């Protein structure tokens, strides 16, 4: 948790709506749920004791249904909504205690936001919309127009400078919104459900394009969405928000594979798992791992003891050699002693941890044995068999 590597750190952020928010906050039992707080105090706790860190260059997604407080939370970061309590540390400075001037500086240079309904200025041409951030900073006209034209090209809208926003399609309008955000060259990008007003196909294109841009720009990004699949696709890490609180924070795989409660599990039900999970995420630990110089009888007894039909054999140096079945070992041990090395066939089938689940399905379907998962250095990291795959597909992995 060293502060230096975190671009943004939020600690115990609260936002309470009502006539006396801070008084209510001070006298509040933090264990109460949002409904209980509303019933007892008449105040709405939109954001309730939220803490999280965002690393430099990371896309951090906050996913929640409407009314979960996610839009309020993202607005607290630039104090478009004034947080009731807590600390928001950006680059080591607490946003909450900033005076008006510092806040203006923060908004002008450090972060910019993309809005759900685009938030474009209908009375300004596309180019003037994009240059707006620079304009309020007081940047000279020629400079800001040049910069605006650059980012316009970046989002693929060159030639539309002199049009008004209403003459553009929804997808194009949001490109303008994105360009406007990029024009000020911010350190942090805030997206408030940027694609939810778009048609599904356009939405997919925009997601892909944003990911491509992000690969190039490496901006620290906070991305709000109500779409779980979008969260999985966009996020390096995801926070699931419910009733003003974070229910779970983790990588997409962690969330899908280990949902913390039924609420999160409910979302994971519709996830097309075969497109998300890999051999690395679903693999099991190998029960019997032996060295190629071990004696067959020793291996056999180990396998019997652990009730395991397959043994994984490593070379003495540590890299993976292959597998042996219980039948072969039993047959060999009847004929006398010897090293297991002799029983391992040449060039056994192995899987990479990155192999997607949908590729695993045909492979495991035709193999009776568990398959070894081996990393780039040819080390054994785990095993996948037909059962593992089926359980993962069923969401029970």
Partner 1 sequence: MNAHSPDPHVHERRKIFMYHVAAGGLLLLVLVIYRLSTENSVFPAFLHYALREPVDVFADWLPETFRFILKPISDAIKLSLKRLDGFFLGLPWPVVVGGVFLFTQHLGGLRLSLLSAGSLMFMGVIGLWDVSLITLTIMTLSVAITLVIGIPLGIWAAHSDRVEMILRPVLDAMQTMPAFVYLLPVMLLFGIGATSAVMATIIYAAPPVIRLTNLGIRQVSPEVVEAAKSYGSTSLQTLFKVQLPLARPSIMMGINQTVMMALGMVIIVALLGASGLGKEIWYAMRRLNIGLALEAGLAVVLMAIVLDRISYALTGREREGKARAYEGEPPGMLARMKKSVARIGAFAQGLSRAFAAGMAVLIGWIARPFAKKDVTGILRRVFTAHAFLLGSSALLLALLLVSRYLVDFSEFPAAWIFHFAKPVDAAATWMNINLAFITDPMRKSIYVYGLGPMRDFLIWLPWPVLMLGIAYLAWRVAGWRIALLSLFGFAFIGVTGMWIPTMVTLSQVLVALVLSVGIAVPIGILASRSDGFEALIRPILDVMQTLPAFVYFPVVIMLFRIGDLSGIIATVIYAMPPAIRLTNLGIRQVSAEVIEAARSYGSTPRQILFKVQLPLALPSIMMGINQTTMMALAMVVFAALIGAKGLGFEVLMSITRFDVGAGFEAGMSIVFLAVIADRITQGWAKRRQQALGVAASQ
CB of 258 to partner 1, least distance (A): 36
Strand order of the β-sheet with 289-291 is: 289-291, 310-314, 320-325
Region from 72-80, 267-275, 308-316, 328-336 binding partner 1, contact rule CB under 8 A: 72-80
Strand order of the β-sheet with 380-384 is: 350-351, 371-374, 380-384
Token pair 């032996």 in the structure block, residue = 290
CB of 180 to partner 1, least distance (A): 8
78 or 281: CB nearest partner 1: 78
CB of 128 to partner 1, least distance (A): 10
120 part of the interface to partner 1, by CB under 8 A: yes
Q: End-to-end alpha-carbon separation of the chain, Å? A: 30
Give the tokens for residue 101. 């001037």
CB of 135 to partner 1, least distance (A): 8
Q: Which of 63, 155, 184, 332 binds partner 1 (CB under 8 A)?
A: 184
Q: Which of 132, 223, 312, 320 binds partner 1 (CB under 8 A)?
A: 132
Q: DSSP state, 5?
A: G
d(CA 62, CA 87): 18
163 part of the interface to partner 1, by CB under 8 A: no
105 part of the interface to partner 1, by CB under 8 A: yes
14 or 115: CB nearest partner 1: 115
d(CA 332, CA 19): 82
Burial class (CB in 10 A: 0-12, 13-18, 19+), 193: buried
Q: Which of 67, 119, 280, 348 binds partner 1 (CB under 8 A)?
A: 119
Contact mark string toward partner 1, 372..391, x via CB under 8 A: --------------------
78 part of the interface to partner 1, by CB under 8 A: yes
Please report how many Cα atoms fall inside a 13 Å half-sphere around the Cα of residue 272, on the Cβ side. Answer: 6
Residue 185, Cα to own-chain centre: how many angstroms? 23
80 part of the interface to partner 1, by CB under 8 A: yes
121 part of the interface to partner 1, by CB under 8 A: yes
CB of 69 to partner 1, least distance (A): 17
- In sequence order, the β-bridge partners of residue 62 are 224, 239
Q: Which of 3, 136, 211, 365 binds partner 1 (CB under 8 A)?
A: 136
CB of 98 to partner 1, least distance (A): 12
Q: Which of 112, 248, 323, 355 binds partner 1 (CB under 8 A)?
A: 112
| DSSP secondary structure letters along 204-230 | HHHHHHHHHHHHHH--EEEEEES-HHH
Q: Which of 107, 144, 175, 203 binds partner 1 (CB under 8 A)?
A: 107
Q: Which of 11, 32, 56, 137 binds partner 1 (CB under 8 A)?
A: 137
| DSSP secondary structure letters along 292-311 | TTSBHHHHHHHHHHHT-SEE
- In sequence order, the β-bridge partners of residue 225 are 63
| Site for partner 1, rule CB under 8 A | 75, 78, 80, 104-109, 111-113, 115-123, 132-133, 135-137, 180, 184, 190
């Amino acid at each position: 948790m060293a502060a230096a590597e975190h671009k943004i750190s939020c600690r115990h952020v609260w936002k309470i709506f009502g006539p006396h928010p801070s008084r209510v906050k001070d006298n509040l039992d933090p264990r109460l749920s949002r409904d209980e707080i509303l019933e007892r105090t008449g105040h709405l706790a939109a954001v309730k004791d939220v803490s999280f860190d965002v690393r430099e260059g990371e896309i951090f997604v906050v996913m929640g249904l409407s009314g979960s407080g996610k839009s309020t939370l993202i607005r607290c970061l630039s104090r478009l909504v004034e947080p009731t309590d807590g600390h928001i540390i950006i680059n080591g400075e607490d946003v909450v205690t900033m005076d008006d001037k510092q806040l203006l500086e923060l908004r002008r240079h450090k972060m910019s936001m993309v809005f759900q309904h685009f938030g474009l200025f209908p009375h300004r041409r596309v180019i003037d919309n994009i240059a707006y951030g620079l304009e309020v900073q007081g940047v000279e006209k020629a400079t800001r127009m040049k910069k605006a034209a650059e980012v316009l090209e970046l989002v693929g809208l060159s030639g539309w400078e002199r049009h008004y926003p209403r003459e553009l399609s929804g997808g194009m309008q949001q490109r303008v919104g994105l360009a406007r955000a990029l024009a000020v060259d911010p350190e942090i990008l805030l997206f408030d459900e940027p694609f939810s007003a778009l048609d599904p196909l356009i939405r997919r294109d925009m997601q892909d394009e944003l990911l491509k841009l992000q690969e190039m720009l490496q901006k620290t990004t906070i991305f709000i969405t109500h779409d779980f699949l979008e969260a999985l696709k966009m996020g390096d890490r995801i926070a699931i928000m419910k009733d003003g609180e974070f229910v779970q924070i983790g990588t997409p795989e962690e969330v899908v594979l280990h949902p913390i409660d039924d609420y999160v599990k409910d979302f994971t039900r519709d996830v097309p798992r075969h497109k998300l999970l890999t051999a690395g995420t679903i693999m099991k630990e190998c029960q019997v791992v032996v060295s190629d110089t071990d004696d067959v009888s020793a291996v056999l007894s180990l396998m019997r003891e652990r009730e395991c039909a397959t043994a994984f054999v490593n070379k003495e140096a540590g890299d993976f050699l292959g597998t042996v079945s219980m039948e072969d070992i039993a047959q060999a041990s009847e004929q006398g002693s010897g090293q297991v090395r002799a029983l391992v066939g040449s060039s056994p089938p192995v899987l990479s941890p990155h192999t997607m689940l949908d590729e695993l399905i045909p492979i495991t379907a035709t193999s009776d044995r568990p398959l070894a998962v081996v990393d780039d250095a040819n080390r054994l990291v785990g095993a996948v068999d037909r059962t593992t795959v089926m359980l993962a597909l069923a969401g029970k992995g």
